[in-house]
């Protein structure tokens, strides 16, 4: 079962994703992709750690190269595609022409290793602001990755104000 959860900043998507993961049986992995390099991102990482406290997630830090993550079946919560895209695009050795393939390769490999794969991403496409060239590249790549995931996911859920809106439902339930 592959589920894409998407929403804006502060929408409640992370809390919803964790709740969904907790409903799954088996070992639970949390793949954290944020590169915490400033006070704001460190606070966000700590808030997410506090949210997971006592939930028996094995946390794996993977800012890039998620294809190298070693897991043993179970449920994987990948948080978050928008960070992963930024890390692959702007990190060492990254670049627009190099970023898409390792992200998709990692997603495909993780999907093969899991029973339940919950993927969190941001919805950043509707603000109407005109951005600089680098940000436009980032938004285009994030859109392309989100589109890829949405096509092969069993479920796509947008979280708005903490409420899930099912864009695509698994019919096997």
Note the pLDDT of residue 149. 98
Q: Mean pLDDT over all residues of the chain? A: 89
Name the pLDDT band for 97 (thresholds 50, 70, 90).
low
**Per-residue pLDDT tens digits for 57-84:** 998 999 999 999 999 899 999 999 999 9
d(CA 91, CA 29): 24
Q: What percent of the chain has pLDDT over 70?
A: 94
**Eight-class DSSP state of 166:** E
CB 104 within 8 A of CB 145: yes
Name the pLDDT band for 42 (thresholds 50, 70, 90).
confident
Note the pLDDT of residue 173. 47
Residue 7 has pLDDT above 70, yes or no: yes
Task: Please enumerate in sequence order all residues whose Cβ is within 8 A of that of 92, keeping only pairs 6 or more positions apart, or say none.
Answer: none
pTM of the model: 0.89
Note the pLDDT of residue 127. 73
**What kind of fold does domain 2-168 have according to CATH?**
Rossmann fold (3.40.50)
> Looking at residues 150-154, what average pLDDT do you find?
96
Task: Sort strands 75-79 and 116-122 into parallel, antiparallel or unpaired.
Answer: parallel
Buried b (16+ CB within 10 A) or exposed e, 10-27: ebbbbebbbebbeebeeb
Residue 107 has pLDDT above 60, yes or no: yes
CB 77 within 8 A of CB 30: yes
């Amino acid at each position: 079962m592959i589920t894409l959860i998407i929403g804006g900043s502060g929408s409640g998507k992370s809390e919803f994703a964790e709740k969904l993961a907790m409903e799954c049986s088996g070992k639970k992995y949390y793949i954290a992709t944020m590169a915490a390099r400033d006070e704001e991102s460190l606070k966000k990482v700590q808030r997410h750690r506090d949210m997971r406290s006592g939930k028996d997630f094995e946390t794996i830090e993977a800012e890039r190269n998620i294809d190298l993550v070693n897991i043993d079946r179970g449920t994987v919560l990948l948080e978050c595609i928008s960070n992963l895209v930024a890390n692959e695009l702007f990190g060492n050795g990254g670049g627009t022409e190099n970023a898409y393939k390792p992200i998709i390769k990692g997603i495909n490999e993780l999907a093969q290793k899991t029973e339940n794969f919950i993927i969190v991403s941001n919805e950043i496409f509707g603000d109407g602001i005109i951005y600089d060239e680098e940000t436009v590249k980032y938004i285009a790549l994030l859109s392309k990755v989100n589109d890829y995931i949405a096509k092969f996911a069993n479920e796509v859920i947008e979280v708005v104000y903490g409420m899930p809106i099912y864009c695509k439902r698994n019919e096997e339930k």
